[in-house]
């Protein structure tokens, strides 16, 4: 068949009814497709997870690292602190448990540090300069992407050391500082300049003085929301951000034997766990809603409980006396909202730590004509991340979003590419996503059961004694085994199933890494290849006769 046939990429409604049957005129034909793996689709940093897992499975660890860091420069950090929504989305959940993607990512990140792997240097200089305000995950991610594209980047940050909330908000038992420093050092090795202990007060003036062509605001949310609690001794009340920052800076504040943490988010869990490591015999979470309504991730709560943190749901603090707290018992109304009951109880506490959320300090931006805000949150174009002021972009905690390291890194990547396009006066390409490779599309004849690996973990009774890392990494063998559990959803991995099943020898193998092609002169459209494909890398489409 020399003439190309016209095709209509729509599923034939009678595919199941005509399975295995052929007629005198072929009315459908198979084609190879690439669908979107659910892990890739769920990753806020936009990693091509399936591809780097494939490379790890093939024993190509350094190539896997290079693939991963195209989108995320911090695999060792993310392998520790990301809440891995990719694993929640993983199709293998339906079989024997999700692939432990975060642990393989950590393996690659740790190996890169151990082996001294570096980022590829940019091939040219654009001659353009970009100012970034904030050296947290979003600012560092944007700096990395911009430097790789040949731009000169300078970060100005108000803290003594770079890292933002990765350094001053996430405790060392979750993220060791030598790991953080090593991954930041790879970014500065690209030529990114970081000035610390520097407070930007007039962004437009600094851009003009430094001859910057664009700016990215990634200031983070470092201010704690406060609530007035009647008390005779205000020194016994501290905010969680300040508390965690002091501890991260090497201080050891005196908090007493009994500590109450007011709030139910991840910061509250960290504060309660840190209090245990500072010697608090009793560390209690006080939260005004139920456990199900708690904003903290479930694993954060479970880790806290394992370390002896107690949970006090449906309680709100009314006042604080010399020795104890008065808390009001709450209940849920018909709409699921917590409301007071007028009943009270006492709770002993030497210190109260407020963990009621964080805000950004965006006051320096309010001087700029045209900037839009919703309370403390800067408003940006959701696609480009540019503010209403041309050339000034913003991301991470400074804009409306979920406040996590991974979301921040994803914003930094997007901002870097959008700033690059804006500097070149062109549109950044908007690549449409493929259809999702959902579990119901798979035909998993090829895959057997495979045990899920687990990371070594310190006993809870031991780990509260200090700030040492509590979860270990995978061995090389376990990491490669875990990568091999990937189902390659929606993308051909050359299992040869189609080749062996075709009754007409209409499939041609093109060699390792090049997959296959169809000889449509032989193909009868019987769909045998389609029906056996374990990962739905083949689709049947209708065919318009010549």
Residue 390 belongs to some domain of the structure: yes
Task: Give, as one character, the DSSP assignment of residue 161.
Answer: S
Residue 29 pLDDT: 93
Residue 22 pLDDT: 61
* Residues ≥6 apart with Cβ < 8 Å to 308: 276, 283, 460, 464
Residue 121 has phi, psi (to 5 degrees) of -75, 150
Residue 11 belongs to some domain of the structure: yes
* Residue found under tokens 């990547």: 413
Residues 208 and 292 in one domain: no
Residue 429 belongs to some domain of the structure: no
Tokens standing for 420? 């690059």
Residues 319 and 203 in one domain: no
Structural domain boundaries enclosing 45: 38-117+447-484
Residues 71 and 100 in one domain: yes
Domain count, the chain: 4
Residues 418 and 511 in one domain: no
Residues 173 and 142 in one domain: yes
Residues 537 and 472 in one domain: no
* Residues recorded for the chain: 546
Specify burial of residue 53 (Cβ count, 10 A radius: 0-12, 13-18, 19+): buried
Tokens standing for 137? 């995950």
Residue 432 belongs to some domain of the structure: no
Residue 441 belongs to some domain of the structure: no
Residues 74 and 99 in one domain: yes
Q: Is the dihedral of CA 461, 467, 470, 475 positive or negative?
A: negative
Nearest to 296 by CA among 357, 244, 343: 357
Residue 351 belongs to some domain of the structure: yes
Residues 326 and 352 in one domain: yes
Q: Confirm if 538 and 493 have CB atoms less than 8 A apart.
A: no
Task: Give the whole-angstrom CA distance, residue 435 versus residue 441.
Answer: 11
**If residue 106 lies in a helix (H) or strand (E), which one and from where to where?**
helix 101-115
Residue 21 sits in a domain whose CATH number is: 3.30.70.20
Residue 545 pLDDT: 56
* Residues ≥6 apart with Cβ < 8 Å to 546: 3, 5
Last residue of a domain, one of 357, 379, 398: 357
Q: Confirm if 317 and 326 have CB atoms less than 8 A apart.
A: yes
Residue 327 pLDDT: 93
Residues 197 and 210 in one domain: yes
Task: Give the whole-angstrom CA distance, residue 528 versus residue 30.
Answer: 9
Residue 21 pLDDT: 55
Strands 351-354 and 258-262: parallel
Residue 435 belongs to some domain of the structure: no
Tens of pLDDT, residue by residue, the chain (546 residues): 333 333 344 444 444 444 555 666 788 999 999 999 999 999 999 999 999 999 999 999 999 999 999 999 999 999 999 999 999 999 999 999 999 999 999 999 999 999 999 999 999 999 999 999 999 999 999 999 999 999 999 999 999 999 999 999 999 999 999 999 999 999 999 999 999 999 999 999 999 999 999 999 999 777 777 787 777 677 788 999 999 999 999 999 999 999 999 999 999 999 999 999 999 999 999 999 999 999 999 999 999 999 999 999 999 998 888 778 899 999 998 888 899 899 999 999 999 999 988 777 888 888 899 899 887 788 899 889 999 999 999 998 888 778 899 999 999 999 999 999 999 998 877 778 899 999 999 998 888 888 889 999 999 889 998 999 999 999 999 999 999 999 999 999 999 999 999 999 999 999 998 999 999 999 999 999 999 999 999 999 998 755
Task: Give the whole-angstrom CA distance, residue 183 versus residue 179.
Answer: 6
Mean pLDDT value across the chain = 90
Residues 167 and 181 in one domain: yes
Tokens standing for 173? 């038992």
Tokens standing for 171? 């405790």
- Reduced DSSP (H G I as helix, E B as strand, rest coil) percent helix, strand, coil of the chain, to 5: 30, 20, 50
Tokens standing for 207? 């851009």
Residue 5 pLDDT: 36
* Residues ≥6 apart with Cβ < 8 Å to 477: none
Residue 23 pLDDT: 62
Q: For 43-88, what is each residue's pLDDT tens digit?
A: 999 999 999 999 999 999 999 999 999 999 999 999 999 999 999 9
Residue 232 sits in a domain whose CATH number is: 3.50.50.60
Task: Give the whole-angstrom CA distance, residue 174 versus residue 179.
Answer: 11
Residue 247 pLDDT: 95
Residue 14 pLDDT: 45
Residue 437 belongs to some domain of the structure: no
**pTM of the complete model:** 0.90
Task: Give the whole-angstrom CA distance, residue 96 versus residue 444.
Answer: 13
Q: How many CB atoms lie within 10 A of CB 299?
A: 12
Q: Confirm if 155 and 140 have CB atoms less than 8 A apart.
A: yes
Residues 134 and 214 in one domain: yes
Buried residues in 281-297 as b, exposed as e (16+ CB within 10 A) = ebbbbbbbbeeeebebe
Tokens standing for 504? 């007409």
* Residues ≥6 apart with Cβ < 8 Å to 492: 32, 34, 515, 516, 535, 537
Task: Give the whole-angstrom CA distance, residue 435 versus residue 448.
Answer: 26
**If residue 328 lies in a helix (H) or strand (E), which one and from where to where?**
strand 324-332
Residues 383 and 461 in one domain: no
């Amino acid at each position: 068949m020399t003439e190309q046939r016209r095709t209509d990429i729509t599923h034939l409604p009678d595919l199941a009814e005509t399975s295995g049957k052929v007629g005198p005129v072929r009315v459908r034909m198979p084609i190879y497709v690439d669908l979107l793996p659910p892990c890739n689709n769920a990753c806020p940093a936009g990693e091509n997870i399936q591809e780097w897992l494939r490379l790890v499975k093939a024993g190509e660890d350094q190539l896997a690292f290079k693939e991963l860091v195209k989108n995320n420069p911090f695999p060792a950090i993310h392998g520790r602190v990301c809440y891995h929504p990719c694993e929640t989305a993983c199709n293998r959940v339906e079989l024997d448990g999700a692939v432990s993607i975060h642990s393989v990512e950590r393996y690659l990140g740790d190996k890169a540090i151990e082996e001294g792997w570096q980022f590829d240097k940019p091939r040219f200089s654009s001659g353009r300069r970009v100012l970034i305000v904030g050296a947290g995950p979003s600012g560092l991610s944007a700096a990395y992407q911009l430097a790789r594209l040949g731009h000169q980047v300078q970060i100005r940050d108000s803290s003594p050391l770079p890292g933002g909330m990765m350094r001053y908000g996430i405790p060392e038992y979750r993220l060791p500082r030598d790991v953080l420093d090593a991954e930041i050092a790879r970014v500065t090795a690209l030529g990114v300049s970081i000035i610390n202990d520097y407070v930007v007060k007039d962004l437009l003036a600094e851009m003009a003085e430094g001859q910057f062509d664009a700016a990215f605001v990634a200031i983070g949310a470092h201010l704690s929301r406060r609530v007035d609690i009647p008390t005779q001794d205000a020194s016994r009340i501290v905010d969680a951000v300040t508390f965690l920052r002091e501890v991260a800076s090497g201080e050891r504040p005196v908090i007493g034997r009994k500590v109450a943490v007011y709030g139910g988010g991840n910061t509250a869990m960290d504060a309660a766990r840190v209090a245990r490591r500072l010697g608090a015999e009793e560390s209690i979470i006080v939260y005004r809603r139920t456990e199900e309504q708690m904003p903290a991730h479930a694993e954060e709560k479970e880790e806290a409980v394992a370390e002896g943190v107690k949970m006090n749901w449906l309680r709100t603090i009314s006042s604080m006396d010399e020795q104890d707290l008065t808390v009001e018992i709450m209940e849920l109304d018909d709409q699921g909202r917590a409301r007071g009951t007028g009943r009270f109880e006492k709770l002993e506490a030497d210190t109260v730590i407020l963990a009621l959320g964080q805000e950004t300090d965006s006051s320096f931006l309010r001087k700029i004509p045209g900037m839009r805000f919703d309370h403390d949150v800067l408003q940006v174009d959701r696609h480009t991340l540019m503010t209403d002021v041309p050339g000034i972009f913003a991301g991470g905690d400074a804009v409306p979003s979920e406040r996590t390291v991974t979301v921040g890194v994803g914003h930094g990547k997007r901002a870097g590419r959008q700033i690059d396009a804006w500097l070149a006066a062109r549109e950044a390409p908007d690549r449409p996503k493929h259809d999702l490779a959902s579990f119901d599309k798979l035909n998993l004849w090829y895959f057997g059961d495979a045990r899920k690996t687990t990371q070594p973990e310190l006993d809870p009774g031991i780990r509260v004694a200090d700030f040492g890392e509590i979860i270990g990494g995978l061995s090389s063998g376990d990491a490669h085994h875990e990568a091999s559990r990937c189902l390659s959803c929606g993308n051909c991995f050359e299992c040869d199933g189609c080749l062996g099943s075709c009754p007409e020898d209409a499939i041609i193998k093109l060699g390792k890494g090049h997959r296959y092609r169809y000889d449509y002169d032989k193909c009868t459209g019987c769909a045998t290849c389609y029906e056996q494909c374990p990962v739905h890398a083949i689709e049947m489409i209708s065919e318009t006769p010549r």
